[in-house]
Structure 1
């Protein structure tokens, strides 16, 4: 069975106020065209379809239009919810979407309807798994774990059970359903310890409390992950983050956007390849020692979004800011660093620190010591709870 793995669409996400829904439309069309060209039979979307719990009507319209195009005439699309998604709202249209081969898992005990109308279809399904069959009668098993928290999975917190113990239990419950030992894919939205995080993502490991060890992942033929915006391969087996469909933060400026494509059969994964996405604007980080130098530099980067750091001896004046923006309309962030006798890269800044790093710095400034681990974890849990309200 030919499979495509994508994630982290973040439909509706803006960049410092700049609308990007047009770019998202283009790149989703690019993925749909790739599916047609490569004769993909099954698309896996590993979470963070939207950027907020309450997406705009335009964002929702783009989602429904794009996912219908992805499904095509006979393709199946399986979607799980991520931490940015309202898992209940995302799955609300399942009774309609399943008629078009679109199956959405959002941490609720919905069992998809079985139908053989389309060439790729489910032949067996439960609250967190599916067995898919294509026209040739080939079957694959999907263990599906949307962004896992006790609240989303309707469980009370048990102080005697660590998060890793919970993850092991949740993963094993899905694996136990693969009674025929079919070729399998584990699909989830989580943070694997050692993964590279970008600025555009919320603090996701709760100070390490929700970092999942690589060895905890099941021995599936392929592990399709979402959550991290950089495409990355973990360990010596087929464990992949496909990465986001656009560059969503300036530290992703040099990161290519990709989807994963592979065949899955009785012999396991073969014809595995990553396909680069070309739609959407490139993000660029620039630095200069003067306004004049910056203007010349800006003219070299057309059709990009630009973050410019200026190392100056005196503050910018409004007329200089206007000149810089006229030099390139893609300039959306100017970071002035003011200091006498400056040189590029000389300044320390807190702008790139994560929430946990900022909390740690504050605690050390107050108490001259590292914050206790349980206090840091409590701070991050409160931060996450705030983001989900």
Structure 2
């Protein structure tokens, strides 16, 4: 059987004030044509369908229209919630989407209560089992382990062990005569970041070793990290990456969907199919005069400009007037000593909220790991979008 693996659409993402819904629509249209042209049996979308937990009506229309177009062609469409999505809303629409032939999962559940989707591939009539694991916040991972694996939370502290227990309960339903697939939204230890992820829900306790995935899995379809990559493991573990550059940190990534062929007892074969829709993101350096002189070379690319001269009043206006696709303007650190003016950003390494809070604690003479843990838990509650039952 054949299926398409994709993730991290982030529909509704606005980049530096620029609405990109038309680009996102073009990318989804291209992916749909790839699925139809290759006559796939299923499309697996491994989380972060939307950029926001409360997406706009236009963003929802685009996603629903795309999913319906696939389902009408007798393709099994499987969608799980990522950390940007609102899991409870996914669950609310699950019965209605199910009528349309679209399988939506907002929360983890036991295998015998829908945590493993079983169907027969239309092209080969082979049985297929898909173990689905939407994004788990640290707190909900405890509850999920109790529900699915009957693991007492007081005996299990590590996030990776909780996820291991949940997956163990789900993959116990795998059968030797079927194509067995794991689908999850999480961070694998050693995975490379793509550049546009939400760091607070990707680092610290939020990572698991690839060894948690069972050798019986023909394929593990992951979402969350935006860089296309395979993680070394006993079974094929793949991130499809984002299908278009979500932010400037992804400007050099390869944007693809994964076309996978698998059969019972046969290792999965994976082919990357490029997705070309959407504007390129580009970072360019130079003086104001040099940047403006090269404008013909930029085409329709969205630009992040790094200015290699001291700032002056009116610098931003000069650049944006000549380069209307310049979405971000920075002063190179070597030229920032005179002060960044006119709203210019000084190019310096980004710090996570946890790092900033830790630095603050040190500055006021506080050294207590419990306070940092409480901050991390509070930040998780405020930024995660997967609701707890």
Superposition TM-score tier, normalisation by shorter sequence: 0.7 to 0.9
Contact 2:143 2:153 survives alignment (8 Å):
no
Larger displacement relative to structure 2 (92-101 or 82-91): 92-101
1:157-182: CA deviations, max 9, x gaps? Answer: 93431222211210011011124552
Matched, 1:330 2:330: no
- CA drift of 1:95 comes to 2.3
Pick closer, same or farther for the CA change 1:102–1:341 going to 2, 3 Å.
Answer: closer
**1:5-30 deviation digits (Å, cap 9, x = unpaired):** 00011111110111011111110000
* TM-score, structure 2 as length reference: 0.86
Q: CA deviation at 1:377?
A: 4.0
The aligned residue for residue 142 of structure 1 is 130
The 2-side partners of 1:96 and 1:192 are apart by 33
Q: 1:257 aligns with which of 255, 258, 276?
A: 255
**Separation in 2, partners of 1:376, 1:304:** 41
8 Å CA contact 1:107–1:152 kept in 2: the answer is no
Counterpart of 2:290 (choices 267, 288, 293) is 293
Q: Partner residue of 2:184?
A: 188
What secondary structure does 2:79 align onto? Answer: strand
RMSD: 2.7
Rounded to whole Å, the distance in 2 between the matches of 1:239 and 1:173 is: 19
2:21 maps to what in 1?
21
For the 8 Å contact 1:193–1:212, the answer to whether it is kept is yes
In the TM superposition, what whole-angstrom CA distance separates every residue of 1:247-273 from its partner, at most 9, and x where no partner exists? Answer: 112111111211111111023344420
Q: Where does structure 1 lack aligned partners over 5 or more consecutive residues?
A: 112-124
Note if contact 2:141-2:162 (Cα within 8 Å) is conserved in structure 1. Answer: no
* TM-score normalized with structure 1 length: 0.86
- Verify: 1:151 aligned to 2:140, yes or no: yes
Q: CA deviation at 1:285?
A: 0.8
1:109 deviates by 5.1
Measured in 2, the distance between the counterparts of 1:309 and 1:341 equals 11
CA 366–310 in structure 1, closer or farther in 2 if over 3 Å, else same: farther
The answer to whether residue 83 in structure 2 is matched with residue 83 in structure 1 is: yes
The 1:295–1:263 alpha-carbon spacing in structure 2 relative to 1, beyond 3 Å, is: same
Whether the aligned pair in 1 keeps the contact of 2:7 and 2:240 (CA below 8 Å) is yes
2:130 touches 2:183 (CA, 8 Å); kept in 1? yes
Asked whether the 8 Å contact 1:110–1:127 carries over to 2, the reply is: yes
The 1:232/1:206 distance shift into structure 2, 3 A limit, reads closer
Gaps of 5+ in 2: 147-151, 338-344
- The reply on whether 1:307 has 2:295 as its aligned counterpart is no
Q: Tell me, in whole angstroms, the C-alpha distance in 1 between the residues paired with 2:302 and 2:58.
A: 22
* Structure possessing the higher relative contact order (Cα contacts under 8 Å, 6 or more residues apart): 2
